[in-house]
Homo-oligomer: A and B are copies of this chain.
Amino acid sequence: MEGPVATLPSRWYNIVPDLPSPPPPPLHPATREPVGPEDLAPLFPADLIAQEVATDPYLEIPEEVRDVYRLWRPTPLRRAHRLEKALGTPARIYYKYEGVSPVGSHKPNTAVPQAFYNARQGIRRLTTETGAGQWGSALAFASSQFGLETEIWMVRASYDQKPYRRSMMELYGAKVHPSPSPLTTSGSKVLAEAPDSPGSLGIAISEAVEVAASSEDTRYALGSVLNHVLMHQTVIGEEALEQLTDINDPPDLIIGCTGGGSNFAGLAFPFLREKLKGRINPDFLAVEPAASPSFTRGRYAYDFGDTAGFTPLLKMHTLGHDFIPDPIHAGGLRYHGMAPLLSHIYDLDLFTAVAKPQRECFEAGVLFARTEGIVPAPEPTHALAAAIEEARRCTEPKVILTALCGHGHFDMTAYDRYLQGDLEDLSLSPDRIDRSLTRLP
């Protein structure tokens, strides 16, 4: 594709040392003391644990990882001329498009290094959870590149809605189970209470963690939330920064959707570094689904990352670890919590957040497809909806940058339902959140 210049990054960016204060550490649930590397060793390889607590602002990307990145990176940065024209806006809207990766989303940016470091440590098998299937496909692809086995717990709602994503994981050689599953203690427990449970990322994480923790040659891979995952995704923002610098058009507003937070962080962090250093001055906006509004309606508190309570306690914006979001089609955003690092930065007032109902998002997705051609996945339609709202409000030129983190070629049933008028906005009563927040650890 033609477009502004980007080079494949040689380093990941770690924002922690550039922040005015460090994020609160994860705590051991029993002692409430910070967890050490030894607590994490059953779940993650040593290199990733080191990255999780890294204090250097930059970490070299291994050549083996860059070599796989080259299959689709650098990704295009495009200006949405046709969308602007349809909106009649003076705004200039740019989108960074991650849908050109083999699995059609930004997820391989972290799946590839995670598979690499595990393989280098001699691990035989990875377990993980997946919502919409994007993360599971990405890890299955990455594992196939480094000769690892993969076992994936897929949120039941998506397992049923998106059989093609399951086939894709299997095509890359992975085993896929619907979650909750009877294969684990945590899954069995949920099934005993709710045999028809649509599942949630929290439950699926519990299952994958449980299996990894109980097997010597198996580790767990997480597709978002953790510091090292957010850091791997900064290749998105570093490229976008170079591309906008190449055409000398610095952004005024940067918008990304948030589920666990890695897509938004990946785009935003390099620009936030430039802002903290006083070189540019953009605003940042995180857009979450109204069905899972952890920033806008959650509490900033220590909570478990999973439903069963296997993970360390993470200080994050949370709806409560047993909150199960309604089965919206943006399965990748159905998470009860938020990346602790992003939660901390939100608490520092360095960005704002807004929640969007799904019909407004699909409306934005259809407009984007009919103007720019690309069919966006349901997740980034949240960011597009906010970008469109902002562009419509503009009365003078403003540069908006958004993360188009994946294509929607696996999400056509959702668009079909929207086009048939069958898609409802689900209302979320405040007391449902209040109730789950009473159960914070």
Interface, chain A (partner B; CB < 8 A) = 1-3, 8, 68, 70-75, 78, 82, 100, 102-104, 108, 141, 144-145, 163-165, 167-168, 170-173, 366, 369-375, 407, 409-410, 412-413, 415-416, 419
Closest B residue by C-beta to A104: B409
The answer to whether residues A409 and B412 also contact, given A1-B72, A102-B374, A370-B144 and a CB cut-off of 8 A, is no
Partner of A141, one of B74, B100, B167, B373: B373
B70, B104, B173: which contacts A1 (Cβ < 8 A)? B70
Residues of chain B lying within 8 A (CB to CB) of residue A78: 71
Could you tell me the distance in whole angstroms from the C-beta of A220 to the nearest C-beta in chain B?
23
**Known contacts A102-B373, A409-B164, A419-B170: does B82 contact A145 (CB below 8 Å)?**
yes
B372–A71 touching, CB < 8 Å: yes
Cβ–Cβ contact B102 & A163, under 8 A: no
Q: Which of B1, B102, B104, B412 contacts A171 (CB 8 A)?
A: B412
Interface centre among A100, A173, A412 (most CB of B within 10 A): A412
A171, B141: Cβ atoms closer than 8 Å = no
Q: Is the CB of B164 within 8 A of A413?
A: yes
Taking a contact as CB atoms closer than 8 A, the residue among B2, B72, B108, B167 that contacts A412 in the complex is B167
Identical chains bound together, number: 2
Complex Cα–Cα for A306 and B410 (A): 32
Closest chain-B Cβ to A407's Cβ sits at a distance in Å of 8
* A100 CB → nearest B CB, Å: 5
CA distance A104 to B409 in the complex (A): 9
| A168 to B78 Cα, complex, angstroms | 22
Chain B residues with CB below 8 A from A167, complex form = 412-413, 415-416, 419
Please indicate the chain B residues that have their CB under 8 angstroms from the CB of A413 in the complex: 163-164, 167
A-B contacts, 8 of them at CB < 8 A, read A1-B72, A2-B8, A163-B416, A164-B413, A168-B412, A172-B370, A173-B370, A409-B410
In the complex, besides A102-B375, A141-B373, 7 extra interface pairs with C-beta distance below 8 angstroms are A2-B73, A68-B373, A103-B373, A144-B370, A145-B373, A163-B416, A167-B413
CA distance A2 to B104 in the complex (A): 17
A103-B374 Cα distance, complex, nearest whole Å: 7
Question: A70 — nearest CB in chain B belongs to which residue?
Answer: B2
A245 to B165, CA, bound (A): 38
Nearest B residue to A75, CB-CB: B1
Question: Once bound together, how far apart are the Cα atoms of A82 and B172, in whole Å?
Answer: 14
> How far apart are the CA atoms of A97 and B82 in the complex, in Å?
25
Q: Is the CB of B2 within 8 A of A375?
A: no
* Chain B residue nearest to A419 in the complex (CB): B170
CA distance in complex: A353, B173 (Å): 33
Residues on B with beta carbons closer than 8 Å to the beta carbon of A171: 366, 369-370, 375, 412, 415, 419
CA distance in complex: A46, B102 (Å): 40
**Residues on the B chain within 8 Å of A372, using CB:** 71, 102
The distance from the CB of A98 to the nearest CB of chain B, in whole angstroms, is: 12
User: Which B residues lie within 8 Å of A375 (CB)?
Assistant: 102, 168, 171
A71 to B2, CA, bound (A): 8
Which residues of B are found within 8 Å of A165, using beta-carbon distances?
412
Which residues from B are CB-within-8-Å of A145? Answer: 82, 373
Residues of B within 8 A of A71 (CB): 1, 78, 372-374
Complex-state Cα separation, A72 to B374, whole angstroms: 10
Q: How far is the CA of A1 from the CA of B75 in the complex (A)?
A: 6
CB neighbours of A1 from chain B (8 A)? 70-75, 100
Residues of B within 8 A of A70 (CB): 1-3
